[in-house]
Amino acid sequence: MTTAVCPGSFDPITLGHVNIFERASEMFDEVTVLVTGNPEKPSGLFSVHERMDLIRQSVDARINVDYWSGLLVDYTSQHGVDVLVKGLRSSLDYEYELPMAQMNRELADVETIFLLTDPRFAHVSSSLVKEVAKLGGDVTPFLSAHVHKSLMSRLS
């Protein structure tokens, strides 16, 4: 059985994230979306637990959701993870992700698989969605309905 983890902050989860998770779930036996950060010290718009709830509401029940506040390779070792899955929107994402992928392989012999983002979401990031929403722009095409409602409620 091949287990994969999709790590990230997901503050908030976008439809681009969901697309990567769904595609990963077709490739691997078990997929976990891993929210990274300290649940006791919310550093984003949503707490770790709120993000986990939004993710659970956004993905199929066969995709697991967990969190981790430590070194990612410690999670992979403790949970028998074979592969990390990361979405790439552009070459900038690749440049950012490559050294981390190499370090994870060196430290824990865990591979990183890069999936190219669906072109519909290549320009979408959680940070940009929050910024546009704060300024009154329409972000409904990039979020599921319940995430959009939570975002707008949080920003008001």
> Which residue out of 25, 47, 58, 126 is catalytically annotated?
126
Residue 126 known to be catalytic: yes
* CA–CA dist 82, 134 (Å, integer): 38
Edge-to-edge strands, sheet with 30-36: 63-68, 30-36, 3-8, 83-88, 111-116
Residue 17 known to be catalytic: yes
H or E stretch covering 8: strand 3-8
> Which residue out of 77, 89, 105, 125 is catalytically annotated?
89
> Which residue out of 41, 91, 153, 156 is catalytically annotated?
41
What is the crossing angle of helices 126-134 and 145-155, to 10°? 50
H or E stretch covering 31: strand 30-36
Handedness of CA 12, 129, 145, 6 (dihedral sign): negative
> Which two tokens mark 16?
């681009």
> Which residue out of 17, 51, 130, 148 is catalytically annotated?
17
Residue 41 known to be catalytic: yes
Active site residues: 17, 41, 89, 126
